[in-house]
Structure 1
Amino acid sequence: MPQNITPMPSLTAREYVAYIGWLKGLNRPDAWSEAERALARVELADKAGVRTSQLSGGQLRRVGVAGALVHRAEVLLLDEPTAGMDPRQRRVFRDILNSLAQDVQILLSTHDIADLAEEADHVTVLYGGRIVHTGVADAFLAHTPPGTASGRAAEGAYASLLSTYGSD
C-alpha cells in the first residue's frame, strides 16, 4: 500500500477496490466480490457505495488496505500508513491491522514510533542505511532508558539506539 491514497472522485469505495483487484489480475466478477470482502475486513462495508472523494483520510487509508488485500495477499507492505491521521483514526487503523495480523504478515515502514509501540512483534531500526537493531519487540524496548515516561518506551528505545550512532 502506498503512503498516499488518491481518491478517484467518480468511483465508490467498492468500485475503487474492485478496480485494484482487476489491475492485480482478478476477473471482473471476482474483483467485485473480493472488493466487498476486503472492505468488510477493514470495517468499511457500510461505506462501499460512498464515493472515495467523500471519505475521510482515515477511511481512505483503509480503502487502500482493502485494495492491498483484494487479491487475498499473504503479505501487506505499508509505508507510513498512519501519516496525517488523528489519534482516534490511528487507534482504529492499528486495531484493524492487529485483526488482520492473524491471516496476513504485515511489514510496516514508519518514522512514527507510536505505530510500533504496542503492536509490533519484531522491530528493525535502520540508520544511515544500516541495520542498528533487529529483534523481537521486547528486545527493542529493552533499550528504553530508565525513567522514561509511561507511553514513551518505544520513543526512548529508538532515541537510545540512535544515540549510539551519533544521531540527534
Structure 2
Amino acid sequence: MAIQIRDVTFGYSLKHPVFERLSIDLESFPAVVLGPNGAGKSTLLGLIVGHLKPKLGSISVGGHARGKDPRRSRRTTGWLPQDVKPLSGFTARQQVAYAGWLKGLKYSAAWTSAAEALESVSLSDHAAQSASKLSGGQRRRLGVAQALVHDPSFLILDEPYAGLDPEQRSSVRDTLLAVSAKTSLVVSTHQTEDLEDVYAHVLVIEGGRVIFSGSTAKFYEGVPESVAPAGRAEAAYRQILERSRSSEPS
C-alpha cells in the first residue's frame, strides 16, 4: 500500500501556488509530516484524501487514482481535518455513526462501530452528550473517532493532538499505535516527543517543498549523543530546517 504524488501543482489562487510540480512517494507507515506553520501540511493531506483537487498532476492512494472513484475513496480513507464541526442536534455517538454511514456502513453496523470508536479515544462517557457541548479537546477526539469508525485502509490525521492535555494525548497515541498495525497511517503534527516510538517514516516540508523524506533512523542522523532523549526529535527537525535554509540561494 503506497501513496504516490506525481508533479502536483495546487494553489488557492492562480498567482500563488502552494505546490508546484510536487512529487512524493510514501511506502513506509506510520508516516509523520512535519513543517513550520504555512508550509503546506494541511493542504498536502487535503490533496491525499481528495478533499482538494490538484490543478495539475496526479495522486494515487493504494494503487487507485484519486478522483476517479470517490465512493471507493470514502470507503478506504479516514480523514481528520483541523476543524471538527459538531452536527446540530446530534449526540457524540450519533455523529460518529453518521460518519460511518456516509462511509458506506449500514446504519446498524455504524451504530455499533461508533461505540467502539468512541471507547478507543476515551469518549464513551460522553457518547450520549450533545456533540455541540463537547470541549475543544473532546471534539478533537470525536474527530479521530469519526475517522476510525469504518476501519479504513488509510488513516490521514491533521494535528490529532491539538488541544489535548498530556493524558488525552497519551490515550490518542496508544489508539494510533494500535490502529497502525492494520492501517496505513499519515499524521501531521507539531508534537514530536513520541516520534521515535510511533513513526517509521518522516516527511518534512517547508515553503511547499519536500526538504526531507526518509526513515525515522535517517531523520535522527547527525543529532549529537549529548542531546537528551526528550529533545532529539526537535534537534533533528531544526537541523534539517537549518540545512535546507543554508543551501538556498541568497
Q: TM-score, normalised by structure 2?
A: 0.60
**Larger RCO, structure (CA 8 Å, separation 6 or more):** 2
**Could you tell me which residue of structure 1 aligns to residue 233 of structure 2?**
154
1:141 partner letter = Y
**Could you tell me which residue of structure 1 aligns to residue 103 of structure 2?**
24
The CA distance in 1 between the partners of 2:165 and 2:125, in whole Å, is 21
The CA distance in 1 between the partners of 2:119 and 2:168, in whole Å, is 17
The CA distance in 1 between the partners of 2:223 and 2:96, in whole Å, is 41
Q: Give 1 or 2: higher strand fraction.
A: 2
- Secondary structure at the aligned position of 1:126 is classed as strand
- CA deviations on 1:45-94 (whole Å, 9 max, x unpaired) are 33221222333333322221111122221111011111222223222221
Residues 1:85 and 2:164 are matched in the alignment: yes
**Could you tell me which residue of structure 2 aligns to residue 98 of structure 1?**
177
From 69, 73, 85, the counterpart of 2:148: 69
**Could you tell me which residue of structure 1 aligns to residue 203 of structure 2?**
124
From 114, 117, 122, the counterpart of 1:35: 114
Q: CA deviation at 1:101?
A: 1.5
Q: Give 1 or 2: higher helix fraction.
A: 1
- Secondary structure at the aligned position of 1:59 is classed as helix
Cα root mean square deviation, aligned: 2.1
The CA distance in 1 between the partners of 2:197 and 2:114, in whole Å, is 29
Label 1:148 to 1:88 Cα distance change in 2 as closer, same or farther (>3 A).
same
- Secondary structure at the aligned position of 1:124 is classed as strand
The CA distance in 2 between the partners of 1:113 and 1:77, in whole Å, is 17
Label 1:43 to 1:88 Cα distance change in 2 as closer, same or farther (>3 A).
closer
Q: Which runs of 5+ in 1 are unaligned?
A: none
**Could you tell me which residue of structure 1 aligns to residue 124 of structure 2?**
45
Q: CA deviation at 1:38?
A: 2.1
* Identity score, percent: 44
Q: Which runs of 5+ in 2 are unaligned?
A: 1-79
